[in-house]
Amino acid sequence: PQGSSLSPLLFLLFINDLCSNIDVNIKLFADDCILYSIIDSPDDQLKLNMCLSKVASWCRTWQMNLNPSKCVYMSITLKKHPYLFNYSVDGHTLNNVSKYRYLGITISNKLSWNSDIASVTSKATSKLWQLKRSLKFATPEVKLLAYKTLIRPTLEYARVVWDPYTVVNIEKLEMVQRKALRFIFNKYGRYDSPTSLMKQTDLTPLSQRAITDRLKTLFQIITDSLHINTDNMFSFTTRTNTRASHPRYINNFQIRINCFKNSFFPRTISDWNSLHPSITNSDSLENFLHRLAAL
């Protein structure tokens, strides 16, 4: 029944067979459904559109209405002349969008994270102003706890995906933390250095925490803690160990475009390969993080 503790489980069982008849990649999360496919020819576009029709047919079978006005499509490509196609559902042409917010992350058709970072910093700054009003007379300890509980998670949500590489975007995020430090210690003077204030806390630059988070995620992927198939993602070197490698040394990618160069795997693998074997060969995540923190 609706509203009971069994409702989520029953809903998952209800929609579970939706994937069985779809010939392209499909991801389900609650009532969100995304279909995606690599488009190398017009036939791939027709196949994807046919799968959209299958989703609509599944909805009709189970007496549900699919609202085409709330369905959109986005072509993610850097090609100057990509394949064009008007995707449709039940005779309704879907809107083509340049960016889409999915599970709290704004994805753009050029895989630029500028919009997402702008949204994150705006949201975090708004929360910080709310804290300033609510905790105006609180102690630094309470303010610091509030920052780490309410503000920093906003700045770091899914950051391993969109971790910025440009100085401009990195500074946008660090600026929020610097403002928070001034708020925590009530130090707004011209000569009050946020760097000095940070030394009075256990805080570290967000960019430094991001490196740790990326390495942590890669360690979890390598040790199969996340149950992700890595066959088509990366490969380990087969050469004998040298000073420049370790048993878990990962082959670097051949990179042609900056978009890929600055994405998760190339950046993180470069950092990973530079680690000492005593860190990469850790037998648990806890030991890995402990040894990484000791650097």
- pLDDT confidence bin for 14, thresholds 50/70/90: confident
Predicted pLDDT of residue 200: 96
Does the pLDDT at position 22 exceed 80?
Answer: yes
Question: What's at 276, amino acid-wise?
Answer: H
Does the pLDDT at position 61 exceed 60?
Answer: yes
Angle between helical axes of 206-222 and 285-293 (0-180°, round to 10):
150
What percent of the chain lies above the pLDDT cut of 70?
Answer: 97
Predicted pLDDT of residue 5: 78
Predicted pLDDT of residue 131: 97
Cα 133 to Cα 275: distance, rounded to the nearest angstrom: 44
Cα 18 to Cα 73: distance, rounded to the nearest angstrom: 19
pLDDT (tens digit per residue) in 132-143: 999 999 999 999
Does the pLDDT at position 62 exceed 80?
Answer: yes
Q: Tokens standing for 166?
A: 């440009």
Q: Where are the domains of the chain?
A: 7-97, 114-203, 209-293
Average pLDDT over every residue of 67-94: 92
Q: What are phi and psi of 68, to 5 degrees?
A: -60, -30
Least confident of 5-9, 14-18, 239-243, 286-290: 239-243
Average pLDDT over every residue of 24-28: 93
pLDDT (tens digit per residue) in 141-158: 999 999 999 999 999 999
Cα 145 to Cα 151: distance, rounded to the nearest angstrom: 10
Work out the mean pLDDT of the chain and round it to a whole number. Answer: 92
**Of residues 121 and 61, more confidently modeled:** 121
Does the pLDDT at position 285 exceed 60?
Answer: yes
Does the pLDDT at position 40 exceed 90?
Answer: yes
Q: Tokens standing for 43?
A: 């036939």
Predicted pLDDT of residue 130: 97
- Please measure the distance between the N-terminal and C-terminal CA atoms of the chain and give it in whole angstroms: 53
DSSP 122-167: HHHHHHHHHHHHHSTT--HHHHHHHIIIIIHHHHHTTHHHH---SH
pLDDT (tens digit per residue) in 195-246: 999 999 999 999 999 999 999 999 999 999 999 999 889 999 876 655 557 8
Cα 60 to Cα 65: distance, rounded to the nearest angstrom: 7
Predicted pLDDT of residue 175: 98
**Considering the entire predicted model, what is its pTM?**
0.88
Does the pLDDT at position 168 exceed 90?
Answer: yes
Give the 3-state secondary structure of residue 22: coil
- pLDDT confidence bin for 42, thresholds 50/70/90: very high
- pLDDT confidence bin for 20, thresholds 50/70/90: confident
Instruction: Report which secondary-structure segment, H or E, holds 277.
Output: helix 277-280
Q: Tokens standing for 154?
A: 């906003």
DSSP state for residue 236 in the 8-state scheme: B
Cα 276 to Cα 291: distance, rounded to the nearest angstrom: 10
